[in-house]
Structure 1
Amino acid sequence: KNPVKAEPWNDVLLAKYLPNICAQPTEISVILGGEYTIVGDEDCLYLNIFAPLNSHEEDHLPVLFYVHDGLMRFGNSGQTNVADYLMDEEVILVTCSYRLGMLGLLSSEDDIIPGNFALKDQAMALNWVKENIVTFGGNPDKITVLGYSTGAGCGQLLAMSPLTKNIVKGVISGSGSYSSKWTLSRPGYSASLVKKVATYFNCSERSDMLLTCLQSKDVSELISLDKLFTVWDWDPTVVYRPVIEPDQPGAFLIEHPESINYTFPMITGITSGEENFRKILLQYGDQTKMNTFMEQINTILPKIFYVEPSSDHGKLLVEKIRATFFKNSTSIDAVIDGFSNVFAQSNIIYPMLRTLRKHQGPSYVYVFDHRGLYSLIDKIVAEVAPEKYSYTMPKPSHADDQLYVINNRPYPFSESDYYISKTLIKLWTNFIKYQDPTPNHEADSNLFWSPVTDMAKYLRINTLDISMKERMKDWDTIETFWDSLLTFPQ
């Protein structure tokens, strides 16, 4: 169901502890496969507010609204120290939880189970911030949304939705975009999943009866059903996806995003090693899964892209991807390299380029190239293959730059990490305040980050070099290749 606004109350909230996280499988249990370990609770729609010490209602500080990542399947709004160095720059940080997996995105594509509940949770939290943040010293007219990976796509959709487009003044999106295949499903796809869910639980396919039936099930049963739709490894990485809804009150998305003339200011970027996330996991995981992939590639590959294998589109996907990324090789290393690049290009790099092509407002593009002491993938590899955990990864992995803005790292910074963190936070908070990351060259006396033109110059962020660079040579090739293969929504 759509979220319902909480009733006002006059009691005192002792905000000493973090609230519940939303019901979900742990990240490790999703990636490793097997039985899910379920954590969290259905009572989870809370937000957290972080303000500088001694801030006052009259300060009107700009607000950063953070949407967490996690494939719309897992993740949470962070720890108590998540704000860390952000508070040095006189901003308010708000983090929110939202329903995940089936609970957040199941849709029968009608008004009974309309879908987009996760996004509507985010929208309701954002509207609450608009109405109440002044009490915490925030400026309700200066709200910027920040997200990484799937959170990045959510942030961009929040800037387009009729529920929130007049609230969002800017978006910062890293390693993700609304035009990724995981961000929106084509008409009919979500309804087809609902039929499979109904069959599994022996429920009626009629939406009203199905809703009643599902509400009688234990939440762990509903969440664990994700595995029914796993084709290979943990793909498709996102099972239930947002949908375009009928134009009715409370609808989050009522038209195709690419038909919307969106002009909000935006920072968007990638890391220089987006492919490392899948590459490292496949290298240190069960090698037999790669044999399975190659043996069943004609079926697995199209389904990862939400395409029917027997269709002309499915056959074309296999043919072109095999020839381009695998060079028709059968060696394990070549297949891992190829699949990792398919993942990075189709999910992250190409969608960013497509979004920039459609975007009508000022856009600032970056490539994060700093490999610090810690990567988001480190904790996963330590669980997957601790005996092999001695690899050297010279480039940052998927969404690693968020470690330097949102503090969810387990280790202290090195000197170079600290420098990168302070620089990133200065650029991001300048954008939050002025919708320009380098007004008057504030972040660095020698730095001017220019918005995108047709040539799409980008800011390279590295310890040794933070400067504007010419458009990457392979971006044109990436755009041309995936334009020929992917539709949106997929």
Structure 2
Amino acid sequence: MYEYISWFIGVPYATPPINSLRFRKTVKAKPWLGVRRATKFGYVCPQNYTGGTLKYIENEDCLFLNIYSPTQEVKNKTYFPVMVFIHGGSYLVGSGNTFQGDTLAQHGVVVVTINYRLGVLGFLSAKNSILKGNYGLHDQIEALKWIQENIRSFGGDPNQVTIFGNSAGGSSVGILSYSPAAKGLFKQAIMQSGSASAFWAQHTNDSIDYEHYVRSMANYVGCRHDPFEDLVECLRQVPCYNLDFNKMQSEKAVRSLQILLDCCI
């Protein structure tokens, strides 16, 4: 057991997915100048949280991860296995901030928790080349790439990475396990209360009119544009808190915010 754990929290792993990067595949983080203080949790991704008061501030600039590493003497330096936790929440709510990994890290592993885009910002899709979807899944993949490149600096072994998650996090783990885009980014996987084959985890129903839901939302927020490219550009300018299918009272539209297996994984 390791008594002392070092926390490195609020570390950006990708470029903020704002403005022109909204509804786009995750972009690698840019390097920063000087020393960055990693002592405060970053923003959590915007979400329709109805279970009480959300402890952390929401912001579209939310692609942060948190690292919990056993403290060791330099002369006894070793590299620990890494466990990366992907939170659940129906792809609609949640954050890596709420799952602090210090207790698990005491057992001799480096624990990483991550945020990824949720709801409309993370999974809105028209199932076409203009609005592909799966942005939240791409966030998870980019976080794993960052870990491969940087985790040695925090005492972790990039060749011994295990991903694990619960509920929607568990289904994400399952999907990442056979995604070509995630090949080589981890060695082992643990799914808790969720799997890639769960009926709620993914979309396989070709009868769903994805573009109809997108146009319904666009109409709701005043983006009545054609062609479709212009409509999506308009949606990129709308305040994120207005992009909410729940406000439209559209349960079917909310259920469309899932991972598309035949697109972009």
> Are 1:225 and 2:245 matched, yes or no?
yes
Structure 1 residue identity aligned to 2:120: M
**Separation of aligned partners in 2, 1:127 and 1:10:** 21
Percent of pairs with identical residues? 31
Corresponding position of 1:136:
154
Structure 1 residue identity aligned to 2:241: S
Q: Which 5+ residue runs of structure 1 have no aligned equivalent?
A: 31-37, 253-490
> Are 1:66 and 2:85 matched, yes or no?
yes
Q: Secondary structure at the match of 2:162?
A: strand
Q: Secondary structure at the match of 1:25?
A: coil
Corresponding position of 2:3:
none
Distance 1:84 1:237, change over 3 A: farther
Query: RMSD across aligned C-alpha pairs, in angstroms?
Result: 2.6
Corresponding position of 2:165:
147
**Contact conserved, 1:153 with 1:173, CA < 8 A, in 2?**
yes
Q: Secondary structure at the match of 2:212?
A: helix
TM-score, normalising length from structure 2? 0.81
Corresponding position of 1:7:
30
Residue pairs, 1:335-484, within 5 angstroms: none
Quick check: which one's strand share is greater? 2
Kindly state the Cα deviation for residue 39 of structure 1 after the two structures are TM-superposed: 5.4
Choose the corresponding residue for 1:174, options 192, 217, 227: 192
**Separation of aligned partners in 1, 2:219 and 2:239:** 17
**Contact conserved, 1:109 with 1:188, CA < 8 A, in 2?**
no
**Separation of aligned partners in 2, 1:229 and 1:192:** 15
Quick check: which one's helix share is greater? 1
**Contact conserved, 2:246 with 2:254, CA < 8 A, in 1?**
no
TM-score, normalising length from structure 1? 0.45
Q: Which runs of 4+ in 1 moved over 4 A?
A: 55-58, 235-239
**Contact conserved, 2:48 with 2:93, CA < 8 A, in 1?**
yes
Q: Secondary structure at the match of 1:73?
A: coil
Corresponding position of 1:196:
216
**Greater CA radius of gyration, 1 or 2?**
1
Higher relative contact order (CA 8 A, sep 6+): 2
| Length, aligned pairs only | 237
Kindly state the Cα deviation for residue 206 of structure 1 after the two structures are TM-superposed: 3.6
Q: Secondary structure at the match of 2:182?
A: coil
Per-residue displacement from partner, 1:115-173 (whole Å, max 9, x unpaired)? 10000001000111011111111111111111001110011111111121222211111
Distance 1:237 1:200, change over 3 A: closer
**Separation of aligned partners in 1, 2:49 and 2:183:** 32
**Separation of aligned partners in 2, 1:237 and 1:204:** 22
Corresponding position of 2:258:
241
Choose the corresponding residue for 1:44, options 62, 87, 96: 62
Per-residue displacement from partner, 1:450-487 (whole Å, max 9, x unpaired)? xxxxxxxxxxxxxxxxxxxxxxxxxxxxxxxxxxxxxx
**Separation of aligned partners in 2, 1:153 and 1:55:** 38
